[in-house]
Structure 1
């Protein structure tokens, strides 16, 4: 059977021969007008279909029609099959070898039907490409995305994965560039591996872990793949996503969590927080998110503020730049996990949270409930000094000037007046952004301390002053109460300044007397 060419006319493929077609093969929406002899002599599958059809149909019928709806690789792969069967020119490449190999398996094009059949030829070429070329192996994997489950059953995915793992784990220390030997970076294989689809990526990373690839490199590759994947998809609320898309994204996130190497410091805390954020948004398996909680908690004492910065998705104007809720969850999880153990590192967590609070305090869209949740996430005992905490609270009050008195009071409950340094207390007494009750109490405490310095007493003075302010406030209406309280505070501040001046003068006199006494002794 001699054919001059295979021509396509819209969705129909026709062979230019001197013999009329007696076989039509329908592959999806494409039809191939062929001949029985060259096809049945090379394909066991088509052989059976043809003879089954001939057994029940009249031989005088028009060309026999058979359907290959499940052919892996579709019409494109079948075109290669037809060219092979008719002896026409065809090219096997890294992009079409996997579909051609799967199609040859499906059609049973073995040596039993024809010597040097398509299956053996594609097998030789596939093995050569996988073993010899790094880049072409990834082209093969790319073509396998439309061949599931054939690529898995015929072990194409496994063979490609093994080849990639072997080259990545046993790569030479350097490569020749011109006349010089350049050292390869440990992560030279990241870019190509990170381009794989999730199921192929899992296969390759699993192989790398089994071959002993460094856990830190494996973790960095997972983070690199995740960053690239996030740049290609949009994660929205599951109500607005198509059900299938949502399920695929959720499965992807769960697969990434399971793929994480267990070794300590193999992945950064920042990446784990991003994964946790994704897991919460996509409602992943609670057991997996709990594992992330525990792992993040074990790393918090070694983190910096930048490690806690996890950007929110989308461009919603009501959202903050960074997701604060996921940090609150991580801190609360840490506190609950160590509450029954000695906590030598919890002071480091306190400094970390204070720094994070100061970083996010200027966010205009940061809700007071979220800010307070983070303020209260740690017990007060973690702070030996509240100056940094006060600084963060003051920054939030400055960025949110429209808070009510009650809201400002709720924020300042986290502060312990006794843990403020002298400089911080002086700043508090001049700070009009703080709630009046806090300012009043600190001024009273300052007066008490100075009275004690001068007379050795002060508790009665504090009680008297406090009761006077309370009685004055109770006798007035709300408008008058605010004005009178402000006047009272100003008067108290003036008293503090007068007493400070007196104390300063007394100290000067004391120093002069001491100098004179030393001279008299001499």
Structure 2
């Protein structure tokens, strides 16, 4: 079935309009004009001339084209032209015997006006998905309503537009695409809104787009199937303003926030892949930074507020874009807060936000640092906070990015110091990340000491301490300090063991003495042996204590 209307002229000196509706019905012909109907509408650039038995008496200028027409044919259908012709509007002027009218800002320009002229003269006009929107807007601009003539252009285009929007999923998107060039008119006449509501209704009630085609004339049936993401690809092709209108319509339909968030994320990731925010000399598409800024702010504003409706990684990408584009600080704060609240449930992969360009480090660490600082600020007032989960997350993130040769020491150090000590049970994973960074950056000098300053002996396991003592990548001062502390720790341990041994022997002596008293057996030789053992233990304790004092003095001199 042909999607359109056809208008034909008769050969009897009168004009009849044959209008075929989408359902196939034909309306009765209606007599419009006397026998000055043109035999043809000829184009001799830049002019269009209506050839007929009577001379033309009206010239209408649209863009760089001049249409030589008849007043009666045009004013009988257009209230706008009627006022200009008969009320002598300020935009009219005479040129010989013909009245010249200039029409500015006509929706669709000369192409739409050509179809309007054919319609007024009863010449065949094809109304298609591609031209329905500009022709519908042009009809409203020219005020071609039913008040002047039954079956006028507004009603004809309205009927076909409604049919397309309600019946065809793909054509609804084509209509939105064709309305981009005349957005003010399309918005004022609610075309975008009607298309958005139709898309939302179909997305929320039918899991298969194949039911919404012009060829399928069976009534649309509602289904209770769960909503899927089959419509994401089509919606992701929309321009930002049309996409927002569709999302708002879908939100009003009560769709699940997780699906809504996934759709926004899908659209945004395609958009992020097409723009570079001015990082390169040439951007793939000619969009201004202002439009980037507005688009980012709009995306943040339409995000569903429900928990876990969008991923942490997507929010970090939005935050990165917002920082680069200098969007509203309040919106940046909103993003930082949302990500901070999600950190305790995040994985390392969620924090990976890639940079563009060879001169930058592989991942954007500044955006993660912003969120960590925001989290630390709110941690004291949040009694349900789980800082150890975030500490483990950050250590894993540091380990992942440590191998990046372009990662600066300052950035790495800032991430290391972003969390307080209480956010970690121990520093083994932190030491592992630092060691990996030093291995990937062997030319560090002063920065090496600054980075390693956070490592503390008592916060590392025994295995980690042994590795520190033997690690030649660490500053010599740190390994020496760890070596001395390890010796002191060993001496203290030995002293403790000796004390325990003395107490144990004393208890044994007491038990033996009691047995001797009970049995009245006195063995002087055994008592002398025991006394010698005690004296020997005392001398050993004195030696150990003297060694301890010497080690402590050496440690003090080394620290000074």
TM-score after normalising by structure 2? 0.78
Tell me the secondary structure at the aligned position of residue 115 of structure 2: helix
Equivalent position of 2:448 in the other structure: 408
Deviation at 1:111, TM superposition (A): 1.8
C-alpha distance in structure 2 between counterparts of 1:173 and 1:274, whole Å:
31
Q: Any gaps of 5 or more consecutive residues in structure 2? A: 1-35, 212-224, 497-544
Counterparts in 2 of 1:440-479, with a 5 A limit? 440-456=480-496, 460-469=549-558
Alignment match, 1:39: 74
Q: Cα offset for 1:184? A: 8.3
CA contact (8 A) 1:23 1:34 kept: yes
Q: Deviations over 1:434-493 (max 9, x none)?
A: 11111111111111122223344575243222245468xxxxxxxxxxxxxxxxxxxxxx
Aligned mate of 1:133, from 168, 174, 180 = 168
Q: Which moved more, 1:184-193 or 1:87-96?
A: 184-193
Q: SS at 1:391's partner residue?
A: helix
- Superposed, 1:174-189 pairs within 5 Å as 186-189=228-231
Q: 2:412 aligns with which of 361, 365, 371?
A: 371
How many residues are treated as equivalent by the alignment?
463
- Contact in 2 for aligned 1:42/1:114 (Cα 8 Å): yes
Structure 1 residues 416 and 468, CA gap change in structure 2 (3 angstroms): closer
> Measured at CA, do residues 425 and 366 of structure 1 come closer, stay the same or move farther in structure 2, by a change above 3 Å?
same
TM-fit CA distance, 1:59: 7.1
Change (3 A) 1:231 1:172: closer
Partner of 2:346: 303
Which residue of the partner structure matches residue 262 of structure 2? 220
Q: Say if 1:54 and 1:322 are closer, same or farther in 2 by CA, change over 3 A.
A: closer
Q: Is the 8 A contact 1:219 1:260 kept in 2?
A: yes
Secondary structure of the equivalent of 1:199?
helix
Corresponding position of 2:520: none
Q: 2:271 aligns with which of 223, 226, 229?
A: 229
Instruction: Find the partner of 1:268 among 298, 302, 311.
Output: 311
Which consecutive residues of structure 1, in runs of 5 or more, have no partner in the other structure?
177-182, 472-522
SS at match of 2:250: helix
How far apart are residue 69 of structure 1 and its match? 0.9
- CA distance 1:74–1:460, shift in 2 (3 Å): farther
**Where do 1:78-477 residues align within 5 Å?**
78-172=113-207, 186-236=228-278, 245-312=288-355, 314-315=356-357, 317-342=358-383, 344-404=385-445, 406-456=446-496, 460-469=549-558
Q: Separation in 2 of the partners of 1:264 and 1:367?
A: 34
Secondary structure at the counterpart of residue 148 of structure 1: helix
* CA distance in structure 2 between the partners assigned to 1:423 and 1:150 by the alignment: 73
Report how far residue 387 of structure 1 moved.
1.0
Deviates most, 18-27 or 280-289? 18-27
Q: Distance in 2 between matches of 1:175 and 1:82?
A: 37
* Mapped partners of 1:83, 1:184: distance in 2: 48
State the distance in 2 between where 1:261 and 1:184 align.
19
* 2-structure distance, mates of 1:324, 1:287: 21
Distance in 1 of aligned mates of 2:206 and 2:92: 61
* Residue 344 to residue 235, structure 1, CA distance change in 2 (3 Å): closer
CA gap of 1:7–1:379, structure 2 versus 1, over 3 A, is farther
3-state SS of 1:322 partner:
coil
Matches within 5 A, 1:61-80: 61-80=96-115
1:2 deviates by 2.9
Structure 1 pair 370–7 and aligned structure 2 pair: CA distance change class (3 A): farther
Per the alignment, in what secondary structure is the counterpart of residue 81 of structure 2?
helix
Q: In the superposition, relative to structure 1, how do residues 89 and 350 fare at CA in structure 2: closer, same or farther (>3 Å)?
A: same
Partner of 2:529: none
- The CA distance in 2 between the partners of 1:229 and 1:247, in whole Å, is 15
8 Å CA contact retained: 1:380, 1:414: no
Cα deviation code 1:291-346 (max 9, x no counterpart): 1111100000100000001112x32x321111100000011101101223335511
- Secondary structure of 1:83's match? helix
The question of whether the paired residues in 2 share the 8 Å contact of 1:445 and 1:462 is answered with no
Q: 1:507 maps to what in 2?
A: none
- Partner secondary structure for residue 101 of structure 2: strand
Report the TM-score when normalising by structure 1.
0.83
Encode CA deviations 1:85-130: one digit per residue, 9 max, x unaligned.
Answer: 1212221112211111111011011122222111110011011111
